[in-house]
Amino acid sequence: MSLAVVKPMPHAVGRQTPKAMVSIDAVTMSFGAYVAVQDVNLTVADGEFLAIVGPTGCGKSTILTRSPAY
């Protein structure tokens, strides 16, 4: 799986760091004995674009899905 975050250039010198709009900290998701993703950390700031790419079954949707059953 690959993560690509595109950060725009600041419009003004001294611009404050954009606040996090999406933040995932230490996410681990398993299905029985199968660990789909482990200790994923991800922060996407305001104005950034994120692309998550990879083959089927690598955990792309799993890191963005939260199920109350787990």
Spatial distance between the Cα atoms of 25 and 63, rounded to a whole number of angstroms: 10
Secondary structure (DSSP) of 11-57: SSTTPPPPPEEEEEEEEEEEETTEEEEEEEEEEEETT-EEEEE--TT
In this prediction, residue 70 carries a pLDDT of: 46
Q: Is 10 helix (H, G, I), strand (E, B) or coil?
A: coil
Q: Dihedral of CA 60/6/21/23: which sign?
A: positive
Domain count, the chain: 1
Tell me whether residue 35 is in a domain: yes
Tell me whether residue 33 is in a domain: yes
Tell me whether residue 59 is in a domain: yes
**What would the pLDDT profile of 34-66 be if each residue is shown by its tens digit?**
888 888 888 888 888 888 888 888 888 888 776
Longest CA–CA separation in the chain, Å: 50
User: Residue 43 sits in which domain range?
Assistant: 2-8+20-64
